[in-house]
Chains A and B, each alone.
Chain A
Amino acid sequence: AQKITQTQPGMFVQEKEAVTLDCTYDTSDPSYGLFWYKQPSSGEMIFLIYQGSYDQQNATEGRYSLNFQKARKSANLVISASQLGDSAMYFCAMREVNTGFQKLVFGTGTRLLVSP
């Protein structure tokens, strides 16, 4: 079963606008972590943000925030005030603490294109 689902293969946004990248997940483990990574065209993977399943508040890191809706099993990434440099692939990932906290499972990614 797909553990991480990213249904948007591509998204377009204008510079300075906000954009939401969708991520839903599937787990029966009560303790888990959710991650977002950015992969620019240069290829490296860059960690953006983390949300723990027991965290009471949504995670934020600068212009990035994670809209965590536990009951709906969604962990959407919100990028505020998009910049041209935000154009990249974005991957959602999950780690289940009780069944293998060492193992990160990734979604298929969403390509974001920011236009001037």
Chain B
Amino acid sequence: NAGVTQTPKFQVLKTGQSMTLQCAQDMNHEYMSWYRQDPGMGLRLIHYSVGAGITDQGEVPNGYNVSRSTTEDFPLRLLSAAPSQTSVYFCASSRRARDNEQFFGPGTRLTVL
């Protein structure tokens, strides 16, 4: 099992550009989520999904879109990048939403100039 994979590892964008951060898991997990981690702050939930076709907003959803067309993939789209979106982004998954352990991907470091 590859676990949770994220691509790219690093990305630099200009203000106003759009891009998609990829997240995939091969553990047949129903629950997937996206977090951002900023210096001096804990991880904050952006969006989550409890299964294919079902997504919902977390704590900081503005400026981001998600979709879940398959169990395996949960891409995060930045519609028009802003410097405030400079952060490290983590994708996580668990078998069920109520499971205690979430498995995290290695993260994507995004810089918006």
Binding site for B on A (CB under 8 A): 4, 33, 35, 42-47, 50, 91, 93, 101-109
Contacts and interface: CB of A to CB of B under 8 A. Distances in A.
Interface in B32-91: 33, 35, 40-45, 48, 50, 56, 58-59, 88, 90
Contacts of A45: 43, 90, 92, 102, 104
A35 B94 CA distance: 14
13 contacts: A33-B100, A42-B106, A43-B106, A45-B90, A93-B43, A101-B97, A101-B98, A102-B48, A103-B45, A103-B59, A104-B43, A104-B102, A108-B42
Contacts of B92: 45
Contact of A103 (B58, B100, B107): B58
B40 A102 contact: no
Q: B interface, how many residues as a size bin?
A: 20 to 34
A103 B43 contact: no
B26 interface: no
Contact of A44 (B40, B41, B104): B104
A47 B40 CA distance: 20
Given A44-B107, A103-B58, A103-B59, A50 B101 contact: yes
